[in-house]
């Protein structure tokens, strides 16, 4: 029964990600990150953790959905921490015609054989399939680099648009 519930919740999250895209607009990712940090500050403090962020760009996106992606990635890092206090870092850098975002942690990591599976609605990890769908609907991609026991870095890209690339 628990497995069926997990699948239904995963499909519901994927459906929301697939159909809820609002018209993308100028979105300040630093402001989104500040809201995510404010919402998760009690959980971070309770875990004795630290969350740092670099300067994040302004992109064209649905701010509500992009904030959801950041919240899920940071929340997952807090939930899947190891024995050490969690240390997370959120950053973005220009990479050609896109911005490359990274959410890095020192948690338990992901077995490389499961890298693709965690984004699958059938065997995925909670809301990650929906997050990948959100990023793809914005014209980007999402993946993870990790090894079991060595933390994880979740990457996603978003197109850099001319109107916000030089701000």
Flag whether pLDDT at 11 surpasses 70.
no
Tens-place pLDDT, residues 32-41: 999 999 999 9
Q: Which among 130, 110, 131 has a CA at the least distance from the CA of 14? A: 130
The class level of CATH for 2-165 reads alpha beta
pLDDT of residue 117: 87
Tens-place pLDDT, residues 90-140: 999 999 999 999 999 999 998 899 888 888 877 656 789 999 999 999 999
Query: Could you tell me the pTM of the whole model?
Result: 0.84
Q: Name residue 155's beta-bridge partners.
A: 102, 143
pLDDT of residue 134: 94
The Cβ of residue 23 has, within 10 Å, a number of other Cβ atoms equal to 6
pLDDT of residue 62: 95
């Amino acid at each position: 029964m628990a497995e069926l519930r997990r699948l239904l919740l995963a499909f519901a999250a994927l459906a929301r990600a697939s159909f809820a895209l609002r018209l993308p607009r100028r979105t300040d990712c630093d402001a989104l990150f500040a809201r995510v940090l404010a919402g998760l500050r009690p959980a971070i403090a309770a875990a004795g953790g630290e969350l740092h962020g670099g300067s994040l760009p302004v992109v064209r996106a649905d701010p509500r959905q992009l904030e959801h992606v950041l919240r899920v990635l940071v929340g997952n890092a807090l939930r899947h921490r190891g024995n050490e206090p969690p240390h997370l870092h959120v950053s973005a850098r220009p990479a050609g015609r896109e911005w490359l975002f990274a959410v890095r942690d020192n948690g338990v990591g992901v077995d490389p054989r499961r890298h693709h599976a965690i984004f699958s609605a059938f065997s995925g990890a909670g809301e990650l399939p929906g997050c990948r769908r959100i990023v793809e609907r914005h014209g980007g991609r999402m993946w993870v680099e990790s090894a079991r026991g060595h933390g994880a870095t979740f990457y996603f890209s978003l197109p850099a648009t001319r109107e916000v690339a030089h701000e």
